[in-house]
Structure 1
Amino acid sequence: MPVDLVIFDIGNVLIEWQPERYYDGVIGPERREAMFAQVDLHGMNDEVDRGGDFRETIYATAERYPEWRDEIRLWHDRWIDIAAPAIDHSVRLLRALRSKGVPVHALTNFGIGSFEVAASAYDFLNEFDARHISGHLGVIKPAPRIYEIVEEQGGTAPERILFTDDRPDNIATAQARGWQTHLFEDPQGWADRLVQAGLLTAEDAA
């Protein structure tokens, strides 16, 4: 089936997103494990991704756990150090597709404020033809509604969309809607998929 639209997830596709790794480097693995066991930091981040205020959501969580207050606040204060580094090969693939005239969108679980920070630090986040940001839409993957919104806004038949994401649950929802999909494990695998789809040559995808 031909592809008329390519959609990228961002976290762990274009930018590494490994908060545990960041905290291991700041407070050590043992304290990090204790904090993550006590505090649902990923649940807190989901609140931000659904549209909650970036600073207020994180700082409110920090106040509920005073023994971890300073560490939790880093999720906001040093956020760009957590969301790092860029995955350079994936960025090249994004730009190669656009240079070929292939429409490229982003579909990502991202907060309003945190995305503003990211887009200031990573210029390629401003290069999509359209960005579907969960914080603005008020719903996060893998809820089917966010995929419906992409279809409505993009005007592309589901079977002509090719979507990559690092999470199997996000991929499963896309597949259920008839999208073509690629479970992202590394940029070379994604490059190979784009070549297979006839969107890029092997040279383009290097």
Structure 2
Amino acid sequence: MFVNLSFKLNESNSMINMNKLNDKMMMIMIMLLMMVTMMMMMKNKLMNKSTFENQKMEMMWTTFPSLIIIMMTYLSIPVLYLNNELKMNIMSIKVSGNQWFWNYKYMNFKYSFNSYLMYKKKFNLNLIETDNKIILPFNNQVLLIMTATDVIHSWAMPSMNLKCDTIPGQINNMLIKSNKIGISFGQCSEVCGVNHSFMPIMMETVSMKEFVKWVKKF
């Protein structure tokens, strides 16, 4: 039950850091809520007289929130810029959004394919399975080059804390590194037309050995 109240299962280091940040922020909010509740319960006429035009207290409730905001900023900035940290990428994949399917092009291997919604389901999951899925090697960083051919789309993988707009005539970059072998699902997260809800994303993370076997097929 409590799992449904939090984020999805962590499938990337970025999502792990996001969960940790969420836990820290929740602890700060709970502590503040407890302090405010205690102050409201202790409120009486005598306390009102002592707080009237009390410059020390005014200084405290101005300084204390400022320190909390600074602390929250300090905790969140590393997580905010983690996805933009450019390192050595094992390969690059160009992702093109179309009405209403995705095109993936493995730049290093000169291999591309389209990914459409699959109505004959293998996993009995509604409207999120595709006929062709993107394959990534486990625990290796990959650069995704995002663009679109018609209207604005958005490539989103919630379990990895990833979301990037694909805009016609513009290139956006996003790094992806999966720390879990298996299949992940995503969805177009930008309204792009009548069939917007029929643009799922299906990605499988495999071991490097299995990935090499898959590459040799083409």
Is TM > 0.5 for Structure 1 vs Structure 2?
no
CA radius of gyration, larger in? 2
Query: Of Structure 1 and Structure 2, which has the larger fraction of its residues in strand?
Result: 2
TM normalised by structure 2 equals: 0.29
TM normalised by structure 1 equals: 0.30
Query: Of Structure 1 and Structure 2, which has the larger fraction of its residues in helix?
Result: 1
